[in-house]
Amino acid sequence: MTEKYDVIVIGGGPGGYVAAIRAAQLGLSTACIDMNTGKDGKAALGGTCLNVGCIPSKALLDSSKHFHHVQHDYAAHGINVADASIDISTMIARKDGVVSKLTGGVAQLFKANKIKQFHGRGRLLANRQVEFTAHASDEKISLEAKNIILAAGSVPISIPNVEYDKKYIIDNEGALDLTEVPPRLGVIGAGVIGLELGSVWQRLGSEVTLLEALPTFLPTADQDVSKQAERLFKKQGLDIRLGTLVKSASVVDDEVRVTLEDKNGESQINFDRLLVAVGRKPYTQGLLADDSGVELNERGQINVNDQSQTSVPGVWAVGDCVRGPMLAHKASEEGIAVAELIAGKAAHIHFDTVPWVIYTDPEIAWVGKTEQQLKEEGVSYRSGSFPFAATGRGLAMGDAAGMVKMLADEDTDEILGVHIIGPSASELIAECVVTMEFHGASEDLARIVHAHPTLSEAVHEAALHVDGRAIHRGN
């Protein structure tokens, strides 16, 4: 017998579980299929982000930051702590507790909204039929819905001649569960994941080397920000090697032997652990039957239109398995929009104002266009910037590295992009996103009163500087 629903969501990550909750709120009978299993062997909603991505990495970043501050910064405040140490098992247990609390919270939301949860794999067949295979068994159930939302997420990319063994050569999940601080940690990839997890273990005592094949650091960020970030991270002790191609890696005598190639030719370097963090790819393995009718593009992404509709009527797709940035908040907003479209409401996502964040210390965040993009597109613009070192709050906190940079249209003054490196950049970017969403101008932010003393004054002064009238810096 086939179970029937208004909506079936395949995938319980930030796109899937949010879509399911919103659909249920709108009165649609909803089911969600998710295969993720927690350390306790039970279903764990929340996808990669909540279980082995965004949330656990932030927990470890926070723990490592506290340890670093105790060792290097508290003395300036008159706080003296001798022989500080860290218990890695306690740190990991705390991280697991944060994850467990949040996954349990999602499960409670499912119960409260009367969403049927299926723990296992979902496979889309023709005519909006779904074959469900239960976790740890061969039991199959036939499901059917008027609308299907595919939210299968993504998986780490592997590279040739570097095979994960989950002990010495690891992915991001393995880097979140190390039982001790590796004396030498190699990281392939100096992107978001590599920088964040590399920062964690460097603060805890690892000698961290980032091997990046690209010749430039953080090329998607604004160049002024990426240059300042590279300088700050190197000063912290991260060994960042650009233009370095990893050709192979193998485990020999309990260490990882890496063969790499750079401008000086081929060489070898040894590590105690090697983290592969070269990006992620859509996870569609086993998701689509041959007769499902859903099309994939050359990058393995599910083809969708601007409203997240696939080539099959009634079948939608959101999140990491479709076009656009692989960001949890982007997936969630897509999921909400699709649920509302299914319910007959108007909905859309403005992809031009999706913020990006790298949770290093200092944090990096941006929204909109970079200066190099505006130059390439031939857009006339004005630029303003302001350093956190000139803010009273930043100096009082002892955390004043970085700056805010704002780009505005030369004719209309509409804000085209904002780029922040500094304390609480992930939070400060929000007012810039809101301003851009309403097509606001730098003049709008310049004339809004910002509390003193706050870090947000750097945003205010950067807006003033666009017009050459910043108060606390030369113009």
- Which pair of tokens denotes residue 248? 């192979």
Parallel/antiparallel/unpaired status of strands 116-124 and 265-271: unpaired
Q: Cβ neighbours of residue 39 under 8 Å, at least 6 residues apart?
A: 96
Rg over alpha carbons for the chain, rounded to the nearest Å, is: 24
Cis peptide before 160 (omega within 30 of 0): no
How many other β-carbons are positioned within 10 Å of the β-carbon of residue 274? 30
Gap between the terminal Cα atoms of the chain: 73
The sign one gets for the Cα dihedral 121, 124, 129, 131 is: negative
- Which pair of tokens denotes residue 57? 């990495």
- Rounded to whole angstroms, what are the CA distances from 441 to 3, 292, 372, 374, 470? 52, 46, 20, 17, 16
Q: Which long-range contacts (CB under 8 A, 24 or more apart) does 84-92 make?
A: 86/204, 88/178, 88/179, 88/180, 88/181, 88/204, 89/179, 91/60, 91/63, 92/176, 92/177, 92/178, 92/179
Cis peptide before 453 (omega within 30 of 0): yes
Please identify which of the residues 439, 452, 465, 472 carries the catalytic annotation: 452
Of 192, 204, 163, the residue nearest 66 (C-alpha):
204
- Please confirm, yes or no, whether 69 is among the known catalytic residues: no
- Which pair of tokens denotes residue 9? 């969501």
- Which pair of tokens denotes residue 73? 């910064």
* Strand extents, DSSP E, 371-468: 381-387, 403-409, 415-422
How many other β-carbons are positioned within 10 Å of the β-carbon of residue 164? 15
The one-character DSSP state at 352 is: G
Q: What angle do CA 466, 468, 473 make, to 5 degrees?
A: 100
Q: Catalytic residue numbers?
A: 452
